[in-house]
Structure 1
């Protein structure tokens, strides 16, 4: 008889959610985690600590830039980075200890150590081998490397090192104009760094709605960030605690350099499967990811995979959804993830959020659609918060009016997007959203106005 019904390897958002749901469904469950704390990259060195730093730096900006405009007079605060890092760590600690409490509450065993799979139905942790009817791989991802860029987590850092800097750098170069680079770059820009972002493409946040990308770039430049677009980084060098970044402009192949106190490598992430023994086991892989079927099963019976180690966006909430779905599948239920309704959020100021298809994707597939747009400058609440920049854009099918996607840049975008997520989950039309009463004054009224713009027109624009 097996020791467990399910052993989950990895206690990040996908893994710990999967383990808890398995236990709730009556399965004897264990979760393998080698960190000293649960929660994976997200809670320890990713989502949560970065949001704490974003929150602190945004409040600092409010105090130095907007308080006086509102009649809040007094001495402007100064930045005590070590104290800010203590606040960040307290946020991490409260969240990771919360997961440990949930494990105990739901009777999930924490197998402390790093796991491998010597054969189907067995998981080795340290010197001990545990048996399981089902194994779920949820080992997440790690920062992607770049040729010629050697990370030391002191001068040349990944997001992990960027969250532990001892002082605010005078100059920071961010390699990569995606989510991680722009979030952390904006943190240090607000705290006083001169930040330059070097991006390979000719636009930032590749894959996003083109109109949002252009508007976002303008806003970030206005905030003081500098950009070198269409630029291919050749390498970095470090001397006497300072870094030099060498890059080539792709349009003319000319070579340039940038000096920096800190270089942040933020060129994305790659699946982390090292040490699991998947190759020896015969698990089929595809571009470094575990290849799975529609039920998150690998080609080896009883071995499943979720989250960043399989295809799809590397998002914590996508992993959580898959964690619950695979638990339900193992328990004999019908686990399901709607991959067409997975929101994405960039937690800068203003926030950027999206769900569904972009205009570029709709044009590429030849689908007829209509656009409903509304500027936050027409939203009374946004203007009173000095947050009138940005807009909401809703895309709907030209014939059926069914919502196909939404793209926002503005205040509370990461929360507002979920109204459209629920609407899309139920197959709603833009008119359904437009006819739903929204409280006044709220930021959410901008969503209704954009939906109205898909029909006869917005009221306040």
Structure 2
């Protein structure tokens, strides 16, 4: 294989890497992208997209099941509910193939050279792919590392057999009768909710004092209530200790020292993700680190000249859209444009039931930063659209400065609120004040009206709330 030279060499074809490559190609930058697995990375292939597809299928099955059992409040009744899970998986896999194929087509259109294989970093400008007669050396003026992250494995619960990572949990060919989930963060909760709706008995094991410990408690209370409705058992302040001796379950221990056996057909370990930086030479570059993450500045430059890093390897928040925005920025910097990372807020979404969206500061975070803030909250039980979809649990909350009404953060919990994330982020990026949102005409009936109503509440003039 002939060696290659390029202006930009990107390692990793996930959301950050492929967006950087496409944008660089659009700007006329000679670009090579190396990806060892499938284009689209974990998000598209084994994470974000597969999970959302299965969540949707589970929601449909759950709705039909309620109708068949006569428990739907709408009066809809059905004759029975069933699911062909193999067809569900085939449908999910078809979505993934369409999207990965689309990424490949976009890269080709942008003139990006895509090399399949494991990148072995030789130095800050040189990478080898393959070995022996198939070894190809690629040199570039600029190196961009976008290798992503992998699930954290517990030493006493190694992946394999009935112990699953999130990727394996989303690739099951049969619905498990029962599943113990170690970790009640957003990954564990999303997968737990979907399999609970498909009929599995779900037990959550969380070491913290509540589920979703990285979200504030007001946002998580509606999710906790919904878990009880779904029959999910959430064990808090509880640690997993290891497999049962007969291999049929998980031993857990409460903070009091009491141990018990959780019988489970499958065990999902969802305790977080770690940067994918070992085993392929990048660690030998001696880049400055921030704990386990690559240290970067506001232009995503590492401590080595000509080497950039984006996405999960650079730390929290480990979100695909953050990596995409960083990738686009780096591509434009390499093309000679003047860019830096000046994002005010990055939306975070938890696709639980109900969904959670958080952008910017929560009330507690504002207080911790010694900011005098006002808070406006509007419950969905007073929103017509929420009532008409049969889900009026949750609320929208706005946090703003008390002195000038500039919005510091917007959060929501409720069915379908993920689709409000863009407007939340836009409000913070544009430096909106409460009056800007309150004065904008919001369509009726819609969930978005709750955003305007929360602004009214923060201004002391709630409209549709006593």
**TM-score, normalised by the number of residues in structure 2:** 0.94
**Match of residue 129 from structure 1:** 137
1:276-355 to 2 correspondences below 5 Å: 276-355=280-359
- Runs of 4+ deviating beyond 4 Å: 66-69
Contact in 1 for aligned 2:394/2:414 (Cα 8 Å) = yes
What are structure 1's unaligned runs of at least 5 residues? none
Distance in 2 separating the partners of 1:458 and 1:66: 37
Cα deviation for residue 238 of structure 1 reads 6.9
Query: Given the superposition, is the C-alpha separation of residues 296 and 311 from structure 1 closer, same or farther in structure 2, using an over 3 Å criterion?
Result: same
Cα deviation for residue 220 of structure 1 reads 1.8
Contact in 2 for aligned 1:402/1:427 (Cα 8 Å) = yes
Contact in 2 for aligned 1:324/1:335 (Cα 8 Å) = no
What is the SS of the residue equivalent to 1:78?
A: coil
**Match of residue 7 from structure 1:** 9
Cα deviation for residue 236 of structure 1 reads 2.4
Cα deviation for residue 2 of structure 1 reads 7.5
Cα deviation for residue 350 of structure 1 reads 1.8
What is the SS of the residue equivalent to 2:277?
A: coil
Cα deviation for residue 283 of structure 1 reads 2.1
1:28-427 to 2 correspondences below 5 Å: 28-35=30-37, 37-66=38-67, 69-126=73-130, 127-152=135-160, 154-237=161-244, 239=246, 243-250=248-255, 252-427=256-431
**Match of residue 17 from structure 1:** 19
Distance in 1 separating the partners of 2:343 and 2:245: 43
Query: Given the superposition, is the C-alpha separation of residues 102 and 112 from structure 1 closer, same or farther in structure 2, using an over 3 Å criterion?
Result: same
Cα deviation for residue 71 of structure 1 reads 4.8
What is the SS of the residue equivalent to 2:263?
A: strand
Distance in 1 separating the partners of 2:248 and 2:15: 35
Cα deviation for residue 316 of structure 1 reads 0.4
Which moved further from structure 2: 338-347 or 122-131?
338-347
Cα deviation for residue 253 of structure 1 reads 2.3
Distance in 2 separating the partners of 1:69 and 1:84: 27
Distance in 2 separating the partners of 1:70 and 1:160: 36
What is the SS of the residue equivalent to 1:417?
A: helix
What are structure 2's unaligned runs of at least 5 residues? none
Per-residue displacement from partner, 1:16-61 (whole Å, max 9, x unpaired)? 00111111111011110111x3100011100001110001001111
Distance in 1 separating the partners of 2:263 and 2:450: 42
Query: Given the superposition, is the C-alpha separation of residues 292 and 232 from structure 1 closer, same or farther in structure 2, using an over 3 Å criterion?
Result: same
Contact in 2 for aligned 1:14/1:323 (Cα 8 Å) = yes
Distance in 2 separating the partners of 1:196 and 1:339: 38
Which moved further from structure 2: 212-221 or 9-18?
212-221
Distance in 1 separating the partners of 2:60 and 2:27: 42
Total equivalences in the alignment:
456
Cα deviation for residue 209 of structure 1 reads 1.9
What is the SS of the residue equivalent to 1:63?
A: helix
RMSD between aligned alpha carbons?
Answer: 1.7
Cα deviation for residue 66 of structure 1 reads 5.0
Per-residue displacement from partner, 1:368-404 (whole Å, max 9, x unpaired)? 1111111111111110110111111111111111111
Cα deviation for residue 205 of structure 1 reads 1.2
Which moved further from structure 2: 82-91 or 333-342?
333-342
What is the SS of the residue equivalent to 1:3?
A: strand
Distance in 2 separating the partners of 1:85 and 1:134: 40
Distance in 1 separating the partners of 2:224 and 2:318: 23
Query: Given the superposition, is the C-alpha separation of residues 238 and 48 from structure 1 closer, same or farther in structure 2, using an over 3 Å criterion?
Result: farther
Cα deviation for residue 72 of structure 1 reads 4.1
Distance in 1 separating the partners of 2:294 and 2:270: 23
Per-residue displacement from partner, 1:131-176 (whole Å, max 9, x unpaired)? 1010100000000122311210x41101111012222112111110
Query: Given the superposition, is the C-alpha separation of residues 82 and 200 from structure 1 closer, same or farther in structure 2, using an over 3 Å criterion?
Result: same
